Amino acid sequence: MLANIRIVLVQTFHPGNIGASARAMKTMGLTDLVLVNPRCFPDPEASRLAAGAEDVIDNARVVGSLAEAVNDCVQVVGASARLRSLPLPHFDEPESMARELIANADDPVSLVFGRERFGLTNDEIRCCSHQVSIPANPDYGILNLAQAVQVLAYEAFKAWRRQPDSGYRHPRPSEERQPTREQLQHFHEHLGRVMRHSGFLTQPHARTETQLQALFARAQPSRKELSLLRGLLRSLEPDTTDSSDRS
């Protein structure tokens, strides 16, 4: 289960922070590290500060976008200050986030961390299903990147350990699991097409579509439920088949 928890670092500037984050991960049993457009990697400083977690560094994957890093994940939690303009489900406490993350870790899940200086952009937050904030001193609430990774990795490890059967548990049936981010993206694209064809959207309504994405993020439909919704959308789509081709 811990193997399904992925740490994603977006555009990390200092390679030493990558190494320190890898060390924070390994102390909590996490090994899956994905780097989105790091400024400098591989780098000797990353390996030096990994201090025993060089295997995590060596196995880290580098990708070109956050979407590519999390497409196969059923839950993606972005670590950031709460952005009220993006009404995604938000965890005010890392402990509650970790419990839900572990509950969904039969499939890949991700914790996403942004740049050292200004974190994640709004577009990157939109790639997430949830947000989480780390409570800190309101007069100085700045955590180093690796410190933030350590805090959330610890909470995930603690939630895993507190399961009554942490050694093994039967996975949930596939239809009860949450859809991947890629499956949800296909659904939202499908919904957008149907809304435009129906005349519900007569011009681009980015805010409307964002609000609907947030609604489904809060609802957390299962794969079976998402399949039912896709079937409903297909039934509402205009039939473009030529009548001469019908039997």
Residue 228 maps to which CATH number? 1.10.8.590
Say yes or no to pLDDT of 155 above 60: yes
Rounded to an integer, the average pLDDT of 76-102 is 85
pLDDT at residue 244 in the model: 43
> Are both 30 and 110 inside the same structural domain?
yes
Which residues span the domain enclosing 119?
2-161
Read off the pLDDT of residues 173-221 as tens digits, 9 standing for 90 and up. Answer: 666 788 887 888 888 888 888 888 888 877 666 678 888 888 888 888 8
Read off the pLDDT of residues 7-58 as tens digits, 9 standing for 90 and up. Answer: 999 999 999 999 999 999 999 999 999 999 999 999 999 999 999 999 999 9
How many CB atoms are located within 10 Å of the residue 83 CB? 15
Domain-located, residue 44: yes
Domain-located, residue 187: yes
Query: Pairing state of beta strands 75-79 and 130-132?
Result: parallel
Domain-located, residue 217: yes
Residue 111 maps to which CATH number? 3.40.1280.10
> Are both 233 and 111 inside the same structural domain?
no
Cβ atoms of 8 and 110 within 8 Å: the answer is yes
> Are both 115 and 53 inside the same structural domain?
yes
> Are both 79 and 184 inside the same structural domain?
no
> Are both 110 and 217 inside the same structural domain?
no
pLDDT at residue 242 in the model: 47
Helix, strand, coil percentages, rounded to 5, for the chain? 45, 15, 40
> Are both 16 and 69 inside the same structural domain?
yes
Read off the pLDDT of residues 94-147 as tens digits, 9 standing for 90 and up. Answer: 999 999 999 999 999 999 999 999 899 988 988 999 999 999 998 988 899 999
> Are both 153 and 186 inside the same structural domain?
no
Say yes or no to pLDDT of 88 above 50: yes
Q: How many domains does the chain have?
A: 2
Nearest-angstrom CA–CA distance, 23 and 25 = 5
β partners of residue 62: 35
> Are both 232 and 135 inside the same structural domain?
no
